[in-house]
Chains A and B, each alone.
Chain A
Amino acid sequence: MKKYILKRFFISLITIWLIATCCFFLLRTLPGNPFATQQLLSPEMQERMMEYYGLNGPLSEQYLTFMKNLLHGDFGSSLKYTGQSVNGIIASTFPVSAQLGLQAYLISFPIGILFGIIAARNRGRTIDYSLVAFSVLGVSVPVFVLASLLQYIFAIKLQILPVALWSSMKHTILPTITLAIGSIASKTRLMRTLMLEVITEDYVKTAKAKGLPAWKIVWNHQIRNAIIPMIPSLGMEIVSILMGSFVVEQIYSVPGIGAYFVNSVRSLDYTMTLGLTVFLAIFVVTANFIIDLIYGLVDPRIRVTK
């Protein structure tokens, strides 16, 4: 087990280094410079700005500085938002995105699983069809349509919730639901399929033959077996949900991390894009690392075969 953990940890570190390096050099191949986008500056002034921010030295030198700072956990300061460090921006926006994501996750996880179980248990009945219909809709309706629809119903017509912004619990309801619905839908589908696979297994038949009550069969034999394949996808989902949804955050004016991702690339804010990407990479890799460990615990076969 120790060897397995060490190996995983080492691979994780290399992955992060690779991502940071590729990202650093790829960003610099983008045409233009960060000071040519906003307002027309004379080439001479642009040169002056590049020099001020230490962007016109040799790339290899800049790379070493970047890596050195990275080892100290310092992502540098934003080129666009003068005086704002990338760390500071992550510290102020990530908790918002994380709160939104966690709320959506806490709703979608139990409901999605529950819906999946109900649908599988009632296969072929009305309730199954309606849940499948819901999940198809939930997966296929774009978030921005859903968000606008919810805004229209609850904020404009019923006037019981605010249209947008992020200042009280009340403000978080609509974005949370918007984000949760798609996730519930996909979990319902996945859980239903997984449950149907195990329902016909021999050990379920045996349990039935033993005369176990239905809830015990479902709980002990079906769900526990069905849920294993969901674990890796759950890990990735936590990551994507925590890093915020650009669209949901934009529509509801949530001051999360999502907008910075898109805008920093657009404005060629190198340090910001790089910092956010590396932060995300560390997050994903760590999550995967933990999931691998949990996976090993839950299913000993995985540990043994590796």
Chain B
Amino acid sequence: MKKALALLLAMIMVIGMLAGCGTTGGGEAEGTTSDTFTMAYNGVVTLNSVMTQASNDHNVLYLLQAQLVRYYDGQVEKDAAESYEMSEDATVWTFHLRDGLVWSNGEALTAADYAYGVKCLLDPGMGSPQASSWTMIKNAEKFMNGEVAWEEVGVKVIDEKTIEFTLEQPLTSFDQTVACKHIYPLNQAFVESVGVNNLGSSIDTIMYSGGYTMTEWVLESSITLQKNPSYWDAENQFQVETIKLLEVEDPNTEVAMFENGEVDAIEEMASQYYDHLADYRYDNAGGGFMFLWMNTHGYSEGADKVMGNVNFRKALSYAIDRDATCLAVDSATKAANNPIDPNFPGINGGKFVDEYPIETYPTNGDVAKAQEYLTKAMEELGYADVSEIPALTIVTWDTAIQKTLGEALTDQWKQNLGVDVQLEQYVIGTAIGKFYEQTYDIFLITWETDVKPTDLLQAMTSTGEANPGIWANAEFDQLVADAIAEVDPAKQAELTQKAAQVMIDDAGIIPLHLNGTVHAKKEYVDGFVIGVSDGFQFSKLVVNK
């Protein structure tokens, strides 16, 4: 037995030696040139632009199709449209296409292709899951329900190069909607020849109009894209000849490939590697917020009084050091003190939150102020000591990260204010059920920011879909309604700003942090842009290897 043990030890030592004698220089894989960009990505389910319901698919479609307008680095950029304008009452939007647009097979790309693209999304016979995103178009909903013919819908081809959208309601940000929700062109004859269900299921069942064409696709494995020389701006955009997208499911393998130079970038790396690849981080925060939902009616015994008190709610908010919490819990997130996503463009070329700032709590908290608010609240409610405040509950779903976040919050409330809040976690289905039943004092969950600042605010109003009735503020409701109805951009922005200010001041639904993802890219990759919600925005990508 001793001998066996000795042999075993020897074997382990040999393996150890093999592992130890690593090469000293060069980590570059062979065969890659600066013409190729390789990225480990999350995979696609389908490249059928009609049937897709995943943002991963839109990431790749960004590279394959010329959209009317698209997002680039947070701004709406003209793509196939050379110009566009809205009517004075903001109900009619007209897009003018560029000259000489072609599909990769040489056929002309016309306004009819874009109109057909929209028709496919709405056609009840095609069953697109995206149909409900386009109900702002006139008669779209009726067409979806089979009540009117397509001719009645507010999508008109004026001539080969002009397409006009008529909307149900005035909408000054329809260009953002188009960029965010995506309108891809579809060639009717082609779609009918392959069948709408087979569209985008292989490299032969797609027509390409964008910066790249697809030359190889193995589902759940890899995609190879080649530069499309017939793209309207092939000379200046999408300069990288070949893009390889590899689906690597195992996070460890992914990082090993990155370090070995087999991939140049990783889409959404696993959180355990944030520190390991700190030098290569590409952070993307936005697209949604984590909120504290204050049930102003309270749920725990005797909680209705405290939860209904605005100073008490403010005390809870001010007592949190959001910067430190984000850093400790999930460094991909970013502390937030404004319910408007900082990625939203303003109306003067900057960001909305910079152009229309609000007065709010500091992201690193203010304990003195928090205690001040608490004292005020206790005076108003007639409590002599903190211990008289009833114990409260905070509810969230049952992941490890939510646990850490919940505990970080309850600890700070205990330490800074002496207020007891109990963390309760449930499986996601049950947790959502509780959210709508309002069986909690505070709820912790995220909400997406959608297309424009007012989308999220609208969801938070007393009748909004994100507010099950836990908080109501008539002034806020009115401001949001006015902002949505307003046609003048400057007035609309002001109203939005005021609404955000009221929301923060009344501390009903309180922003905690912006959600975030972390990608990794090598230092020799320039122009690497991935959108907050979706889109591999690689039009200016350069690989200096």
Q: Which residues of A contact B (CB under 8 A)?
A: 35, 38-39, 41-42, 44-45, 48-49, 51-53, 77, 80-84, 89, 92, 126, 129-130, 132-134, 137, 148-149, 151-153, 155-159, 162-166, 250-253, 255, 259-260, 263
Contact = CB atoms under 8 A, between A and B. Distances in A.
A255 B218 contact: yes
Given A48-B127, A82-B45, A82-B48, A153 B218 contact: no
B474 interface: no
A83 B199 contact: yes
Interface string B1-33: 101100110010001001111110001010000
A38 B248 CA distance: 20
B392 to A, nearest CB: 29
B45 A130 contact: no
Interface in B201-217: 201-202, 205
Contacts of A84: 46, 201, 219
A165 B218 CA distance: 12
A253 B246 contact: yes
Chain B: interface residue count, which band? Answer: 35 or more
B253 A45 contact: no
Given A158-B22, A253-B253, 20 more contacts: A35-B129, A41-B129, A80-B45, A81-B45, A82-B45, A83-B51, A126-B3, A130-B4, A134-B11, A151-B253, A152-B256, A153-B19, A157-B18, A164-B257, A164-B262, A165-B248, A250-B250, A252-B253, A253-B221, A255-B219
Contacts of A159: 23, 27, 260
B252 interface: yes
B52 interface: yes
A229 B201 CA distance: 47
B518 to A, nearest CB: 21
A263 B43 CA distance: 13
B46 to A, nearest CB: 4
Given A82-B201, A253-B250, A255-B220, A45 B132 contact: yes
Contacts of B401: none
Contacts of B246: 165, 253
A214 B45 CA distance: 61
A156 B8 CA distance: 24
Contacts of A253: 221, 246-250, 253
A158 B248 CA distance: 22
Contacts of A166: 221
Interface of B: 1, 3-4, 7-8, 11, 15, 18-23, 27, 29, 45-46, 48, 51-55, 124, 127, 129, 131-132, 197-202, 205, 218-222, 246-250, 252-253, 256-257, 259-260, 262
A48 B256 contact: no
Contacts of B54: 38-39
Contacts of B253: 151, 163-164, 251-253
A156 B260 contact: yes
30 contacts: A35-B129, A39-B53, A39-B55, A49-B127, A82-B46, A82-B201, A83-B197, A83-B201, A83-B202, A92-B218, A126-B3, A133-B7, A134-B11, A148-B252, A151-B252, A151-B253, A155-B256, A157-B22, A158-B21, A159-B23, A159-B27, A162-B29, A163-B253, A164-B248, A164-B257, A165-B246, A251-B253, A255-B219, A255-B222, A263-B220
A203 B131 CA distance: 79
Nearest to A44: B132
B133 to A, nearest CB: 10
B198 A83 contact: yes
Given A82-B45, A83-B198, A83-B200, A45 B4 contact: no
A162 B129 contact: no
A250 B22 CA distance: 25
Nearest to B255: A163
A130 B129 contact: no
A130 B5 CA distance: 8
B7 A126 contact: yes
A82 B262 contact: no
Contacts of A81: 45-46, 201, 219
A129 B129 contact: no
Contact of A129 (B3, B46, B53, B200): B3
Nearest 7 A-B pairs (CB), nearest first? Answer: A83-B201, A52-B127, A129-B4, A255-B221, A157-B22, A82-B51, A82-B46
A259 B247 CA distance: 12
Contact of B197 (A44, A49, A77, A162): A77
A221 B124 CA distance: 73
With most chain B CB atoms within 10 A of its CB, the pick from A82, A130, A165, A253 is A82
